[in-house]
Structure 1
Amino acid sequence: MASAPSNGVAEPINSDIGNVHQTGSFRFALVALTSLFFMWGFLTCLNDILIPYLKDMFELNYTQAMLVQFCFFGAYFIVSIPAGHLVGKIGYQKGIVTGLAIACVGCLMFYPSASYASYWMFLSAFFVLASGITILQVAANPYVSALGPAETASSRLTMTQAFNSLGTTVAPFFGSWLILSSLTHNSDPAIEAVHHASTVQVPYLMLAGALCVLAVVFMILKLPVLGIKPTNTPGTSSGSAWKYPHLVLGAVGIFVYVGAEVGIGSFLINFLTQPDIGGFTEAEAANYIAYYFGGAMVGRFIGALVMQKISAGKVLAFNATCAVLLVAVAMFAEGTTAMWALLLVGLCNSIMFPTIFSLALQDLKQYTSQGSGVLCLAIVGGAIVPLLQGIMADSLGIQLAFALPLICYAFIAYYGLVGSKATRPQSV
């Protein structure tokens, strides 16, 4: 198989390969790849279910509970560059299989973590699982971008991300049914620990089986071979991609977007169980997460169509501005008003990641791959922002802690209107 770019989004394919046979092959590949977007969305969303589960099991404060996201999204920062080199050597398809296999190992690690009731073992399992998903991201995102014209890459990525959102929409029902609904508060700590362990083991064994099946399927599939040459990665001697201001600001945009989305999702269950907000049980609150991520799914299908008529920057700024207003309402209102305001932020999130990603990579030419690697590293915002939000929640309260995501969305609005149009350097 042809070597992949060392990281991130690939350079566009040549127009002379767009014949009927290859178009059909590309469509088949896109259909196959949607299963991966679904699966890693599903697995990522389960973190939001497990945070209250682990918080209850180990009697953690908010800061300690957010270490789940710190370990999970920290893997993106640590593994992204090695994953890019790996995919560059073995190709997209083998990279996908490798990512699935490592994610499978991560799911299997939840079994001993629950048996020994060790929070640090759980955190290790999250890191390994996220490492596998990082390799999948590094392989699949550029592959989707390369499967068609460059001018429709944003729309294509948005459409596949919609299936990622489908996974995040289904996951809360799965987690509520198999994990949170069976939580008990037994007076005997030993009995309660055993019950907690069995509650999380079965779901992750099921997920490990599903990942194993997907790995076998992608070993067998014949995906299109794309003639894409690897270019520079972050950290190499040629730092030319860093001379593009719109890329640097885009990396900040990815950082704050992932941080805001993950931060809100991580606190949703605890927010909805507050007596003055929803007063739900944890299992009931988990079901409402589906509205948050379901809104993102619907918005991505709509956004894929809207951005063919309206510039991506304007759509991004509009969504981010709406998110700022909704988070502000959630901070200062009560009851169902605050609840639905926060849940509707999911609809605003819909097009943000793929749109920021695509805008940041515009006009990078031979530095597209390097720039994409920079953006992959910026996903570490999902580790940093929720942890900071946890510290704020412990000191200011959970509602006022949403001031941090509000600031994040304000920057994204700026990027859509101004930052993405920053002057490109004349020569690099």
Structure 2
Amino acid sequence: MEKSNIPVIPRHFLLSFILVTSLFSLWGFANDVTNPLVAVFKDVFVITNAQSTWVQMAFYGGYATMALPAAIFIRRFSYKSGIIVGLALYALGALISIPAAAGANFNLFIIALYILTFGLAFLETTANPYILSMGPPETATRRLNLAQAFNPVGSLTGMFIAGTIILSAIQVEDFKNDVNGYAGSLEATPVVQREHNIPSFLQAKPRERVYDENVKAYVASVGVGAPVTALQDFKDGKIYSFQGMTHRELQQNDLKLVAMPYTAIGCVVLVVLVIFLVTKLPNTSPPDADHDVHFGRTLKRLLTNPNYVGGVIAQTFYVGAQIMTWTFIIQYAENELGIDKATAQNFNIMAMVIFLCSRFICTFFLKYIAPSKLLMILSAGAIAFTLGAIYIHSITGLYSLVLVSACMSLMFPTIYGLALDGVGEDAKLGSAGLIFAIIGGVFMTRFQGQVLDMDSFMGTTATRGSFFLVILCFLIIAVYGFLSSRFKEKAV
């Protein structure tokens, strides 16, 4: 049979392919409905930037914790078993947000996200190789690319819901705007949103401004420092109420909004779980497949493979760069340009759209440019755009930060493919190491949060200076691209 006639998805795998592909949207939703919570929890719980990064530490720490156990579980049992366990953990974590919101308990939210990502680790570790196995090896890559195209559908849905249900409706944002607006009207600290020529379709709908009497009294008594101390003073009872709510009532109101999308997706995941339980999925493993793990021998081979080890390191820093860039777009827009959270989230959505478009463009270029060389080119572009975000003091700096996503679009799969090139059967456990590399989203966001809490960094503001960490990550990725090309030359 000619290669062009080989089916991407054989007919007898079609239903299974559709069901498993739905999982890609589910974990995309969870990833991108969670990113804005770093900024939301900072204000709602009145904590530092470093403390608020526990959101990402828990989220990506769950991946790191469960990646290897998930790979071992799937090798010992089956793909279907891995999917069922993953969906159960996903639903459990999502639904724990209900008591966390009711009790205004930050720690319980962190536990909920940690458990939720246990499920995501199982789903990602299972779905990718299962899709690859659903048909001829010749079309495996095309099959996986088709399934992965549905991941951004979930991501964009998560971003949109975060912007419309959470960021545009939380009362703590109204409180901050009231304090900032009234302080600015008295020329105490004019930190109200400035004119940036932001397109109207990106701007959040303005809310009617009626200053709360308690806020007016507070600003009048505190003066210039009012916007800086207002949230803590409201929490401490120095502002009695805002729009008839105590701080505790406002906090619970906002956390119910946070819990809404998690409650909804938890219910959806339970429905999907039932569907998988009652559906017979094909066993794609060879009849003589070895289900023993042989962990020691496999690990030794992987750890003595410099191309693989370098790939895990590069993937760690790539995930760190991606999460730092997308998580702190909101803080950059707020702190440097005075833009409200809801409008800032629209720039996050723009970044994701650019990310998706660039993925197709970069995939086309792979026909003509070696993956390792393309990785170096994309890293250089990402460094240039990040420098623009640091040093351009206008709305153009924010657009430059958004454009970093164009360069990140193909980095994860490119590093993934380079690292597993030539490892053979060791790829099943080797892929777990690359999923474990998501731990980069844990410690790098924590470092950036600590920098954001400083007054300044590297000769500029703390917010802008924190993105030097992102540049460090892209430098390491560029080095791996260079070294990987050398490893391949030696192997030939």
Query: Which runs of structure 2 are paired with 1:19-38 in the superposition (5 Å)?
Result: 23-26=10-13, 28-38=15-25
Are 1:189 and 2:189 counterparts? no
Counterpart of 1:65 in structure 2 is 52
5+ residue gaps, structure 1, are 1-14
The one of 53, 57, 76 aligned to 1:89? 76
Going from structure 1 to structure 2, the CA distance change for 1:222 and 1:296 (only over 3 Å counts) comes to farther
Residue 418 of structure 1: SS of its match in structure 2? helix
Counterpart of 2:388 in structure 1 is 329
Higher mean displacement: 187-196 or 133-142: 187-196
Q: Is the 8 A contact 2:333 2:344 kept in 1?
A: yes
Going from structure 1 to structure 2, the CA distance change for 1:127 and 1:234 (only over 3 Å counts) comes to farther
- The amino acid across from 1:93 in the alignment is K
Query: Which runs of structure 2 are paired with 1:118-267 in the superposition (5 Å)?
Result: 118-147=105-134, 156-184=143-171, 185=175, 187=242, 188-227=246-285, 229=289, 230=291, 232=293, 238-267=299-328
The one of 353, 360, 364 aligned to 2:419? 360
Query: Which runs of structure 2 are paired with 1:12-23 in the superposition (5 Å)?
Result: 23=10
Counterpart of 1:7 in structure 2 is none
Q: What TM-score, normalized to structure 2?
A: 0.77
- The amino acid across from 1:218 in the alignment is F
- Once the two structures are TM-superposed, the CA of residue 312 in structure 1 deviates from its matched residue by 2.1
The one of 361, 371, 376 aligned to 1:302? 361
Structure with greater contact order relative to length (CA < 8 Å, sep ≥ 6): 1
Counterpart of 2:477 in structure 1 is 412
Counterpart of 2:375 in structure 1 is 316
Going from structure 1 to structure 2, the CA distance change for 1:27 and 1:249 (only over 3 Å counts) comes to farther
CA distance in 2, matches of 1:343, 1:21: 34
CA distance in 2, matches of 1:28, 1:343: 37
CA distance in 2, matches of 1:306, 1:405: 25
- Once the two structures are TM-superposed, the CA of residue 302 in structure 1 deviates from its matched residue by 3.1
Going from structure 1 to structure 2, the CA distance change for 1:134 and 1:255 (only over 3 Å counts) comes to same
The one of 31, 38, 63 aligned to 1:44? 31
- The amino acid across from 2:247 in the alignment is P
Are 1:341 and 2:406 counterparts? no
Equivalent pairs: percent with the same residue? 29
- The amino acid across from 1:385 in the alignment is M
Going from structure 1 to structure 2, the CA distance change for 1:289 and 1:45 (only over 3 Å counts) comes to same
- Once the two structures are TM-superposed, the CA of residue 285 in structure 1 deviates from its matched residue by 1.1
Kindly provide the CA deviation profile for residues 116-175 of structure 1, in whole angstroms up to 9, marking residues without a partner as x.
111111110110111110110110122233345667655654443332223222222111
Q: Is the 8 A contact 1:273 1:282 kept in 2?
A: yes
Going from structure 1 to structure 2, the CA distance change for 1:161 and 1:325 (only over 3 Å counts) comes to farther
CA distance in 2, matches of 1:100, 1:176: 25
Residue 293 of structure 1: SS of its match in structure 2? helix
Residue 348 of structure 1: SS of its match in structure 2? helix
- Once the two structures are TM-superposed, the CA of residue 225 in structure 1 deviates from its matched residue by 2.4
CA distance in 2, matches of 1:420, 1:133: 32
- Once the two structures are TM-superposed, the CA of residue 38 in structure 1 deviates from its matched residue by 1.4
Going from structure 1 to structure 2, the CA distance change for 1:257 and 1:162 (only over 3 Å counts) comes to farther
- Once the two structures are TM-superposed, the CA of residue 23 in structure 1 deviates from its matched residue by 2.3
CA distance in 1, matches of 2:393, 2:134: 47
Q: What TM-score, normalized to structure 1?
A: 0.88
CA distance in 2, matches of 1:195, 1:317: 47
The one of 340, 343, 350 aligned to 2:409? 350
- The amino acid across from 2:126 in the alignment is A
- The amino acid across from 2:326 in the alignment is G
Counterpart of 1:377 in structure 2 is 436
- For these two proteins, the number of residue pairs brought into alignment is 409
CA distance in 1, matches of 2:139, 2:316: 24
Bigger Rg over Cα: 2
Going from structure 1 to structure 2, the CA distance change for 1:215 and 1:406 (only over 3 Å counts) comes to same
CA distance in 1, matches of 2:473, 2:25: 26
Q: Is the 8 A contact 1:107 1:207 kept in 2?
A: yes
CA distance in 1, matches of 2:344, 2:128: 32
